């Protein structure tokens, strides 16, 4: 109730106005789900401000990768900042091996669901190996199940107008260093060097022999979304309960 200055601040930070009507944003709704790993990170950090700085820097890097990759997908030339060059190079090499087509009309497209009253911005729609679906880009360390809540909301909102949609994908783009001795990986994102131990006996912390920073790209398809969408609606109901004060002020409830 006290996280926002006023109802206009709440509406701006939590949703979009489409055709004169305010809708809560999908990504804001799914924030209601517990994230134990994130809480652990904040708990282990030197301070809240230090953890927040890492999170914000990581988000900026992720946004930068999004912007560059989306332009490359539609054939636009763009400057590649050196700090994300390994990730972008990994993406370029990946694109050479897959049959992926993206129309710029669908990049960063604002969508909404009138019946269930929510809105969002998709990264893009794509035709991949002959299948048409929602493509969501992530710059995380792994592909997490939580992403299925977000993408199920997108595809459910789009189906009435685009009945040929048949699937959805998560495209993960990252950059890491790899220990040449033990296979551990180090992810220097947001100013924090996060090390994930390899399968072999790991080196001592000061004995790793790190490779150059290289891009990592993977894609996973999730063709069945109905069950995920039911879970999204449950999360939406909880989010509405949590924010009932502001939603009443906004005229949503």
pLDDT at 22: 98
pLDDT at 1: 46
Where does 7-249 sit in CATH, by number?
3.90.320
pLDDT digits (tens, 9 = 90+) for 39-75: 787 887 788 888 888 888 899 999 999 999 999 999 9
The Cα–Cα gap between 45 and 194 comes to 12
Closest CA to 55 of 75, 72, 26, 35: 35
- Token pair for residue 215? 């891009």
Share of the chain above pLDDT 70, in %: 99
> With 80 as the cut, is the pLDDT of residue 2 above it?
no
Closest CA to 217 of 83, 63, 69: 69
Distances (CA, A) of 233 to 115, 228, 229: 12, 9, 6
Q: What is the mean pLDDT of the chain?
A: 93
> With 70 as the cut, is the pLDDT of residue 205 above it?
yes
> Model's pTM, two decimal places?
0.91
Contact 87, 174 (CB under 8 A): yes
Model confidence band, residue 206 (pLDDT cutoffs 50, 70, 90): confident
pLDDT at 41: 74
Share of the chain above pLDDT 90, in %: 77
What average pLDDT does range 146-151 have in this prediction? 96
Residue boundaries of the structural domains of the chain: 7-249
Radius of gyration of the chain (CA): 20
pLDDT digits (tens, 9 = 90+) for 164-193: 999 999 999 999 999 998 889 999 888 888
* DSSP state for residue 210 in the 8-state scheme: B
């Amino acid at each position: 109730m006290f996280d926002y200055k006023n109802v206009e601040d709440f509406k701006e930070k939590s949703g979009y106005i489409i055709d004169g009507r305010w809708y809560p944003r999908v990504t804001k709704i799914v924030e209601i789900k517990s994230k134990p790993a994130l809480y652990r990170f904040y708990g282990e950090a030197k301070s809240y401000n230090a953890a927040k700085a890492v999170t914000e820097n990581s988000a900026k890097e992720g946004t930068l990768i999004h912007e560059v990759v989306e332009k490359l997908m539609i054939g636009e030339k763009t400057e590649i900042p050196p700090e994300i060059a390994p990730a972008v190079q990994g993406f370029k090499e990946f694109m050479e091996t897959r049959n992926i087509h993206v129309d710029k009309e669908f990049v960063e497209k604002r969508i909404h669901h009138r019946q269930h009253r929510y809105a969002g911005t998709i990264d893009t729609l794509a035709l991949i190996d002959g299948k048409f679906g929602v493509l969501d880009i992530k710059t995380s360390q792994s592909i997490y199940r939580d992403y299925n809540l977000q993408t199920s909301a997108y595809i459910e909102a789009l189906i009435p107008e685009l009945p040929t949609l048949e699937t959805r994908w998560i495209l993960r783009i990252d950059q890491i260093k790899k220990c040449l001795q033990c296979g551990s990986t180090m992810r220097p994102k947001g100013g924090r060097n996060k090390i994930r131990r390899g399968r072999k006996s790991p080196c001592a912390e000061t004995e790793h022999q790190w490779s150059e920073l290289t891009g990592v790209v993977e894609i996973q398809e999730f063709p069945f979304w109905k069950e995920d969408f039911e879970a999204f609606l449950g999360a939406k109901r909880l989010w509405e309960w949590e924010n009932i004060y502001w939603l009443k002020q906004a005229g949503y409830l």
